[in-house]
Amino acid sequence: TNTSYGWQLINGGHNYDYIIAHELSHQWWGDSVSPQTWADVWLNEGFATYSEALWFENLGGAASYRNYMNSSLWRSSFSGSVYNPADLFGSTVYDKGAWVQHMLRRVVGDTKFFNALRDWYANNTDGVGNTALYQATQEARYGATLDFFFQEWVYGIGQPSYEYGFKTADLGNGTYRNYVRIRQTQATGGLFTMPVDLTLYTSGGNEVRIVANNQLDQDFILDTTAPLTGLG
């Protein structure tokens, strides 16, 4: 339960404060609630790495949070699975483990996600927990199964790769019907079921719509009051 911090990290510049956030978060994720087995090590290190991003969100808001996730924790691919990893202390456990938390927060919603984290601590203080129990804790707040998510991102391997395009039809009554096609093209990992944020660009402004992508090749119909000039 004693957090150590290398003297080389103390230079007066505060450029290693994120490591302090990481190590202090272990007082909750790792010390108070310990993983039941080494297969569950991401419950330590993925949580602590995600706490770094939360620290930046506390300092600089959503933009700082996203910048940290996309710059410091981003990898084009991760080897193996988060659960029962081949490398107990590799980037899959630390960084992909943090991305799992980030994506789970998006799926569950902020309030339910953070309440579930509080439940995780309160219900397992000075004890042990495992990945299945953490899933159940999040599901209790979410109000539905999260098996699709955990099977894809925690127990499974790979990540989705998307291709997309659209066509627009003028219905003649001030409504433009947009037919959007999304294809998953990843070679490994199978189907990923996830919400996808689509930014619809029109001459009247931009609008974000969320679609539930649960097929490898799927069409969506989205109506707008102006023709699409782009999709992102």
Active-site amino acid positions: 23
182-185 long-range contacts, CB within 8 A, separation 24+? 182/211, 182/213, 182/217, 182/218, 182/220, 183/216, 183/217, 183/218, 184/160, 184/213, 184/216, 184/217, 185/161
Q: What is the DSSP letter of 125?
A: T
Secondary structure class of 152 (helix, strand, coil): helix
Residue 182's region, left for phi above 0, alpha for psi from -120 to 50, else beta, is: beta
As given in the structure block, the two tokens for residue 68 are 């940290």
The closest alpha carbon to 18, from 41, 43, 52, belongs to 52
